[in-house]
Amino acid sequence: IDRVGGPDAIADVLRRCGLSDHERELRDENCWFSWQTKIALFEATAQVLSNPDFLVGMATMALDLKVAGGLKVALRTLGSPQVVYRSIVRANTRFNGSHAMELVDISRCQARIRFVDLSGERRFHHLDCEYSAVMLRIVPELFGLPRAQLTHLQCVGDGADSCVYELRWREHVSAGRPALA
């Protein structure tokens, strides 16, 4: 928000969410906040920036920011997008207390991931669904590859019990390892 709209945009987003006195906690990656707060922040940001597709830009910027730098380095050391997708289920539990990610299937350059509400209430918001999809798509960029292609196979917004994403990406070739033909 700061990069796109500056301090006034941040103040406006926080005001719209009733969080004007909580900027410090929201900037602290060690502080947690509710799913409802996340949704309020997403909605307010879309309004203030007048851009319903702001999450795509936010995900791109996330790779450049110093936030969660240790996490990004750890992900890169895993070696490939496939390994990151295998690990994403465990990582999600550390950063998301409201929804779980389950690895349904994975192969060398394809994965199917299920995103389900832990409360059993099928909480859904299109921006939360889009956020999950965009963050999954950028994983290959950690390795200098193009974003994964994502197909949203089923969605809670359409009445399904969970969202299911299918991802396809180009193969990652580690330094010193020949590409498979």
Q: How confident is the model at residue 165 (pLDDT cuts 50, 70, 90)?
A: very high
Query: What is the chain's mean pLDDT, rounded?
Result: 83
> SS3 string of the chain?
CHHHHHHHHHHHHHHHHCCHHHHHHHHCCCCCCCHHHHHHHHHHHHHHCCCCCHHHHHHHHHHHCCCCHHHHHHHHHCCCHHHHHHHHHHHHHHHCCCEEEEEEEEECCEEEEEEEECCCCCCCCHHHHHHHHHHHHCHHHHHCCCCCEEEEEECHHHCCCCEEEEEECCCCCCCCCCCCC
In 3D space, the residue among 139, 85, 144 whose CA is nearest the CA of residue 113 turns out to be 85
In the prediction, which pLDDT does 68 show? 52
Per-residue pLDDT at 61 exceeds 80? no
- What is the pLDDT, as a whole number, of residue 129? 86
Average pLDDT over residues 88-113: 82
pLDDT digits (tens, 9 = 90+) for 114-153: 988 887 777 788 888 888 899 899 889 888 889 999 999 9
Contact predicate 168/148, CB 8 Å: yes
Residue 105: Cβ within 10 Å count? 10
Whether 181 shows a pLDDT value over 60: the answer reads no
Higher pLDDT residue, 130 or 31?
A: 130
Say yes or no to pLDDT of 63 above 70.
no
Lookup: tokens for 126: 């299109």
pLDDT mean over 49-68: 73
Give me the pLDDT at residue 128, please: 84
> What pLDDT sits at residue 55?
86
Q: Are 172 and 145 in contact (CB under 8 A)?
A: yes
Residue with tokens 């922040």: 41
pLDDT at 72: 59
Orientation angle between helical segments 69-77 and 81-95, nearest 10 degrees: 140
- Predicted local distance difference test score (pLDDT) of residue 100: 82
